[in-house]
Amino acid sequence: MSDTNEVTAVEVPAWVIRVARLRVTVGFGVAVVAFWLARPSWCSLAVGALVGSAGALLRLWAAGHLEKAVEVTTSGPYRWTRHPLYVGSLLLGVGFATASRDSLTAALVVLYLVGSLTVAARLEEETLRVKFGLAYDEYARGAAPAISRPFSLARARRNGELRALAGGAATLAVLAIKAFWLA
């Protein structure tokens, strides 16, 4: 009998696993420092919200097509990029960095995101390659047939994306409060 939470061994350097395990903890630390340093203005908040919203919408669209651990998804934004959720996260981070109106915060956020998302993508690709074999290799080469499937809000909800949207809204709210006090 197979456990559905079974971890499949993948061949990646040990440092990739260590960084992946620390990603969330380090992310919380970066967020605390970033909120502390942020000096948002209403203008920076508006521009950052636009960029961040693009990232949130991309994540929502991707999550509404993704069938985690079931298939190599090729519908929606997965037709054009292997990691639309990570691209969306990067846009959310750039939106936050822009809204913060602080160069040290921006550098810290972008460095964290580039490092952590690069490691996450590498680990995810190896995991998918082990789980799906040739199907993933074809997808990575751009040779897999695209599946035409409509977006599903229920699927996005199952993938936890509504929590991510709430987190983005809460981030903007905190920065707006800070902008109000700084004005």
User: Tens of pLDDT along 58-112?
Assistant: 999 999 999 998 999 999 999 999 999 999 999 999 999 999 999 999 999 999 9
User: What's the pLDDT score for residue 102?
Assistant: 97
User: What's the pLDDT score for residue 20?
Assistant: 75
Average pLDDT over residues 33-58: 97
What does the mean pLDDT of the chain come to? Answer: 90
| Max Cα–Cα distance, the chain, nearest Å | 61
The runs of H, that is alpha helices, within the chain are 14-37, 42-63, 84-100, 103-132, 134-141, 153-158, 161-182
Phi-psi label, residue 69: left if phi above 0, alpha if psi -120 to 50, beta otherwise = left
For the segment 100-138, what is each residue's pLDDT rounded down to a tens digit?
Answer: 999 999 999 999 999 999 989 998 998 899 999 999 999
Under the banding of pLDDT at 50, 70 and 90, the label for residue 3 is: very low
User: What's the pLDDT score for residue 10?
Assistant: 67
